[in-house]
Amino acid sequence: MDLRALIFDVFGTVVDWRGGIIREGAELSAARPGLELDWPAFADAWRGRYPPSMNRVRTGEQPWTNLDALHRASLDELLAEFGVAATVGEDDRRRLVTAWHRLDPWPDSVAGLTRLKRRYTIAPLSNGNVALLVNMAKRAGLPWDLVLSAELVRHYKPDPETYLSAPRLLGLEPGQVMMVAAHLDDLVAARAHGLRTGYVLRPDEWGPGGEAPRPRAHDELDLVVNSLTDLADHLGA
């Protein structure tokens, strides 16, 4: 492979979104007597609103809306559904939305990215908005060369405009760029537009006792690895 750059899905691939939302929720409950909530179930339900909310934007049902605003709309709906809307005020709602900016990296992420950066240009290619990704990187120590986001082209993955923005902005051919993700659908879409693909097995992304989906022959992935340090090993970084 004439590989020049690696672009990364972020939520679940580089950072632990589930653990981070549960942690922030537990801290909020500790500070707000009377706020009793099953935070693991809430985190899963909030993440479950992610694809349909983006699809409303992708289909034109809703004008361009960044991920922070989509998260806020979903949060308001879920607080009502979980019966705690009256308990969670405006400041706490803002805190919960920005919890997505403060997610912890997986244990191998910073070390793996640091090694890969020595040989390749590395960047997120996330549906997260730019401010979210920058804040996350500064807190978590993610050593990106630049930040690429769906917000820059106002198209959410899996729209082709999002995937093709990376090689275009980097002055590369699609085949010189590898999409790295812990989600097969993301990689299948990237491959359809000519990008190389690296699948990271992240069983903890699927909750306690979870198991990462196994790649299928027709997915035609370039690499399957267990961590970002394993990816660095495979790519000689």
The 3-state secondary structure of the chain, one letter per residue = CCCCEEEECCECCCEEHHHHHHHHHHHHHHHCCCCCCCHHHHHHHHHHCHHHHHHHHHCCCCCCCCHHHHHHHHHHHHHHHCCCCCCCCHHHHHHHHHHHHCCEECCCHHHHHHHHHCCCEEEEEECCCHHHHHHHHHHHCCCCCCCEEHHHHCCCCCCHHHHHHHHHHHCCCHHHEEEEECCHHHHHHHHHCCCEEEEECCHHHHCCCCCCCCCCHHHCCCEEECCHHHHHHHCCC
User: Torsion angle, CA of 19/68/114/141, rounded to 10 degrees?
Assistant: -70
Q: Tell me the β-bridge partners of 16.
A: 104
Tokens of residue 223, six digits: 């690499």
Q: pLDDT digits over 138-187, tens only? A: 999 999 999 999 999 999 999 999 999 999 999 999 999 999 999 999 99
Query: Exposed, middle or buried by CB within 10 Å (0-12, 13-18, 19+), for 118?
Result: exposed
Q: What is the pTM of this model?
A: 0.95
Burial 219-230 (b: 16+ CB within 10 A, else e): bebbbbbebbbb
Q: Which of 155, 184, 167 is nearest to 121 (CA)?
A: 167
How does strand 196-200 pair with strand 177-181?
A: parallel
Confidence of residue 43 (pLDDT cuts 50, 70, 90): very high
Query: Which pLDDT band holds residue 218 (cuts at 50, 70, 90)?
Result: confident
Give 18's pLDDT tier (boundaries 50, 70, 90): very high
Q: Are 223 and 205 in contact (CB under 8 A)?
A: no
The domains found in the chain, sorted by start residue, are: 5-16+103-234 (3.40.50.1000), 17-101 (1.10.150.240)
Q: What angle do helix axes 67-81 and 50-58 make, rounded to 10 degrees? A: 130
**Taking Cα atoms as reference points, which of 125, 68, 143 lies closest to residue 101?**
68
> Each residue of 98-121: pLDDT tens digit?
999 999 999 999 999 999 999 999
Does the pLDDT of residue 210 top 90, yes or no?
no
